[in-house]
Amino acid sequence: MINREAVAELDRLDPLALLRDAFALPRDRIYLDGNSLGALPRAAVSRVQDTVQQQWGADLISSWNRHGWIDLPQAVGEKIAPLVGAAPGQVICADSISVNLFKLLSVVSMLRPDRSVVLSAADNFPTDLYMVQGLSGLLGEQRLRLVQVAEAEIADALNEQVAAVLLSHVNFRTGRILPMAGITAAAHAVGALTVWDLAHSAGAMPVALDDCQADFAVGCGYKFFNGGPGAPAWVYAAERHQGSVQQPLSGWMGHRAPFDFDPDYQAAAGMLQYLCGTPPILSMAALDAALDLFADIDMEALRAKSVALGTLFLELLDKTELAGQLRLLSPADPAERGSQLAFSHPEAYGLVQAWIERGVVADFREPDVLRVGFAPLYNSYGDIWEALESLRAVVATGEHMDPRWAQRQKVT
């Protein structure tokens, strides 16, 4: 029987429970939106304070050498690498997902000059699709064009016109996990490359880029890595591709010797060429500190808790009158979904807003999707119990039907 006492026992036995204290969580909030913005690690606060007050304030420009600012993109990249199944020398922290996709799609176009199609899912995250469309407008559709199909049709759509398959490992709306190994193998069988977006999987579940023979990948620092709003992103390029072509955003930090101030660009070796402009030290320092929380974490244990949190949510939901009102969009099989659940409801926006007013933070996605994210580093089983109790109260009182929710905020 699932009751409050049983849920408390789950928290008592949770091997990851002590990590919750590493985060500055508001006492009056239950935060189930870590799949959009991770919570604040306490270590990031002290790290940023030191970076501002001592490194910038006292040591000033000497900190590029004294405190290793210049090497931070590599250092952060190497912390991310084992969390996504990458050997050293294949990940670097830089820019945003969008900018990094521009780099990788350009590289794909150069590596497969006789092919023009970038194949993606119609329900992929929009920025991924936008970057293909923008580059297609720049190069012309004869060089690069976007073809979108349903997720289930990706394998059947592969042919010798496809230069690359661009997909999110975990669908941002539904939470469905796509089979990275299988799709990558199918792409390689027709000579195509793969570009994986790991924004909704990295930091919440094991990822095996090298073992899956992935070619390229991108990810962000502000979701499950808890690096803060606008945290820099990262890019992965398999070692076998690093010396083949040069990415086109040839900024000075990607030069082989930036402080030689050579007027002619010469790309740095390895992942350094994927750098462009000066790294954002304050935000990168916060991300660097946040990643330290993963140093001794077994990603399988993290995944196990993620699955358990989602399963508990569904089990508790099924015992309430809400079960017939919220339509599950995520796969019912936990092995097929990431660290989130998505539900369809005609008043999903109002539900989310009224839920937030009661102290439970989830989010809404068009057109009618309520998303609940589970961050295993800091979410507890008690959070799930209290969240469901709060959601029942919202519906029972009709708070989600308040006319205020007819006007949506800029960020939903």
Task: Dump pLDDT digits (tens) for 255-273.
Answer: 999 999 999 999 999 999 9
Q: 200: alpha, beta or left, given left = phi > 0 and alpha = psi -120 to 50?
A: alpha
Question: Do you know the residue count of the chain?
Answer: 412
Q: Identify the pLDDT of residue 9.
A: 97
Q: Order of strands across the sheet with 363-365?
A: 327-328, 340-344, 369-373, 363-365
Q: Which of 23, 31, 216, 222 is catalytic?
A: 222
| Claim to verify: residue 16 and residue 132 sit in the same structural domain | no
Q: How far is the C-alpha of 239 from the C-alpha of 214, rounded, in Å? A: 11
Angle, helices 126-139 vs 97-111, to 10°: value is 50
Q: How far is the C-alpha of 370 from the C-alpha of 356, rounded, in Å? A: 12
Asked whether residue 200 is domain-assigned, the answer is: yes
| Claim to verify: residue 54 and residue 120 sit in the same structural domain | yes
What is residue 230's three-state secondary structure? Answer: coil
Asked whether residue 24 is domain-assigned, the answer is: yes
User: End of a domain among 268, 294, 320?
Assistant: 294
Give me 97's structure tokens.
């997902």
Is 197 annotated as catalytic?
Answer: yes
Virtual CA dihedral for 177, 182, 188, 189, nearest 10 degrees? -140
| Claim to verify: residue 114 and residue 155 sit in the same structural domain | yes
| Claim to verify: residue 302 and residue 290 sit in the same structural domain | no
Q: Which of 47, 115, 176, 223 is catalytic?
A: 223
Q: How do 30-31 and 360-361 pair as beta strands?
A: parallel
Asked whether residue 246 is domain-assigned, the answer is: yes
| Claim to verify: residue 287 and residue 312 sit in the same structural domain | no
| Claim to verify: residue 285 and residue 338 sit in the same structural domain | no
Is 11 annotated as catalytic?
Answer: no
Q: How far is the C-alpha of 387 from the C-alpha of 86, rounded, in Å? A: 36
Give me 347's structure tokens.
């008043």
**Which backbone phi and psi does 217 adopt, to 5 degrees?**
-155, 160
Residue 367 preceded by cis peptide, ω within 30: yes
Q: Which of 47, 371, 374, 378 is catalytic?
A: 371
Count structural domains, the chain: 2
Query: Mean pLDDT across the chain, nearest whole number?
Result: 97
Report the alpha-carbon angle 208-212-213, nearest 5.
Answer: 120
| Claim to verify: residue 227 and residue 368 sit in the same structural domain | no
Which residues of the chain have a pLDDT value below 70? none
User: End of a domain among 276, 294, 312?
Assistant: 294
| Claim to verify: residue 359 and residue 267 sit in the same structural domain | no
| Claim to verify: residue 312 and residue 381 sit in the same structural domain | yes
- Domain span at residue 329 reads 4-31+298-398
Q: Identify the pLDDT of residue 330.
A: 98
User: End of a domain among 273, 294, 315?
Assistant: 294
Is 343 annotated as catalytic?
Answer: no
Give me 248's structure tokens.
């086109």
Asked whether residue 109 is domain-assigned, the answer is: yes
Q: Identify the pLDDT of residue 372.
A: 98
Q: Are 249 and 276 in contact (CB under 8 A)?
A: yes
Is 222 annotated as catalytic?
Answer: yes
Q: Which of 23, 31, 102, 125 is catalytic?
A: 125
Beta carbons within 8 Å of 139's beta carbon, 6+ residues apart: 109
- CATH code at 141? 3.40.640.10
- Whose CA is closest to 92, among 113, 73, 69? 73
Report pTM. Answer: 0.97
Q: Which of 197, 215, 288, 363 is catalytic?
A: 197
- Tens of pLDDT, residue by residue over 204-257, are 999 999 999 999 999 999 999 999 999 999 999 999 999 989 999 999 999 999
Asked whether residue 409 is domain-assigned, the answer is: no
| Claim to verify: residue 95 and residue 231 sit in the same structural domain | yes
Is 294 annotated as catalytic?
Answer: no
Q: Identify the pLDDT of residue 322.
A: 87
Asked whether residue 405 is domain-assigned, the answer is: no
What is residue 273's three-state secondary structure? Answer: helix
Question: Look-up: residue for tokens 């997909």?
Answer: 167
Asked whether residue 41 is domain-assigned, the answer is: no
Q: Identify the pLDDT of residue 139.
A: 95
User: What is the maximum alpha-carbon separation in the chain?
Assistant: 71
- Whose CA is closest to 73, among 208, 361, 268, 213? 268
Q: How far is the C-alpha of 323 from the C-alpha of 317, rounded, in Å? A: 6
- Whose CA is closest to 106, among 253, 231, 273, 232? 273
Asked whether residue 350 is domain-assigned, the answer is: yes
What is residue 63's three-state secondary structure? Answer: helix
| Claim to verify: residue 75 and residue 23 sit in the same structural domain | no
| Claim to verify: residue 15 and residue 152 sit in the same structural domain | no
